[in-house]
């Protein structure tokens, strides 16, 4: 694109001139064909099927996806409607895929909050991802004196636990399960639950909590838990413990 200054009533204006090559580069940079192909494959839709929905031939759509032809706005709108997308979807800046490495040396180990003595210590495995949809943790469950009862807690969503080493007892509502290394459990985290190391040595586990129940799951119809103390903790920053949240 080239800018040509113009004067209107004594004020300078800039008029943008778009030549064919510049327009072609703009379309190429937006990866329109790749975006169309991704939408189609996500729906497991073939070129012939997409052609039936849009009125465009399969051969034209193939050329469109490979960048050999440029779509008109009318054709692009047809495709957008098939996938319930707004036309602007094809021209918005694509988000950068999330990829974060969490080094062991950078993690901070935190004790269970609100319990004395704590039942476990944990390390956040996802603290560097700001808008995460789940929270993964490494947890170590320590042996407790027999007279100490583990503190139960609950939070919205679901929880997955995989035992790496040792033995662990999990209470979930009125259910009890003894888990050994290699065992896994997936459960509704909105039901009160607690853990207890079942052996003389600490038990280690990977825990993943999902923040919310899927909208198409019956569990999502349950009213949200009102007490703030039952929400999962905010994973701590490796530089500080000040951001630790409530009980998980």
- The domain segmentation of the chain, as residue ranges, is 2-90, 104-230
CATH architecture of 2-90: Orthogonal Bundle (1.10)
pLDDT at 28: 63
Closest alpha carbon to 173 in 156, 150, 154: 154
Three-class SS state of 150: coil
pLDDT at 86: 87
User: What b/e string do you get for 65-85 counting C-beta neighbours within 10 Å, with b at 16 or more?
Assistant: beeeeebeeebbebbbebbee
Tell me the sheet residues that pair with 121: 111, 140
Please give the Cα distance from 160 to 165 (Å, whole number): 16
Q: Which CATH superfamily is domain 104-230 in?
A: Jelly Rolls (2.60.120.10)
Spans of the chain, pLDDT less than 50: 1-3, 5-7, 9-13, 216-248
Rounded to 5 degrees, φ, ψ at 184 are: -140, 155
pLDDT at 186: 97
pLDDT at 26: 64
């Amino acid at each position: 694109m080239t800018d040509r200054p113009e004067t209107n009533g004594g004020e300078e204006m800039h008029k943008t001139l778009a030549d064919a090559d510049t327009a072609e580069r703009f379309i190429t940079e937006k990866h329109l064909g790749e975006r169309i192909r991704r939408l189609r494959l996500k729906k497991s839709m073939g070129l012939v099927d997409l052609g039936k929905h849009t009125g465009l031939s399969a051969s034209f759509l193939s050329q469109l996806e490979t960048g050999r032809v440029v779509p008109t706005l009318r054709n692009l709108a047809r495709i957008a409607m098939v996938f319930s997308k707004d036309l602007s979807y094809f021209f918005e800046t694509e988000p950068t895929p999330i990829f974060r490495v969490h080094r062991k040396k950078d993690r901070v180990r935190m004790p269970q909050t609100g319990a004395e003595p704590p039942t476990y210590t944990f390390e956040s495995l996802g603290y560097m991802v700001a808008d995460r949809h789940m929270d993964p943790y490494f947890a170590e469950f320590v042996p407790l004196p027999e007279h100490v009862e583990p503190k139960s807690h609950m939070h919205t969503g679901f929880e997955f636990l995989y035992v790496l080493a040792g033995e662990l007892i999990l209470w979930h509502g009125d259910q009890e399960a003894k888990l050994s290394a290699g065992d896994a459990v997936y459960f509704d985290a909105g039901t009160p639950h607690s853990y207890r190391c079942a052996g003389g040595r600490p038990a280690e586990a990977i825990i993943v909590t999902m923040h919310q129940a899927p909208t198409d799951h019956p569990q999502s119809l349950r009213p949200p838990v009102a007490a703030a103390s039952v929400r999962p903790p905010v994973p701590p920053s490796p530089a500080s413990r000040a951001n630790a949240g409530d009980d998980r």
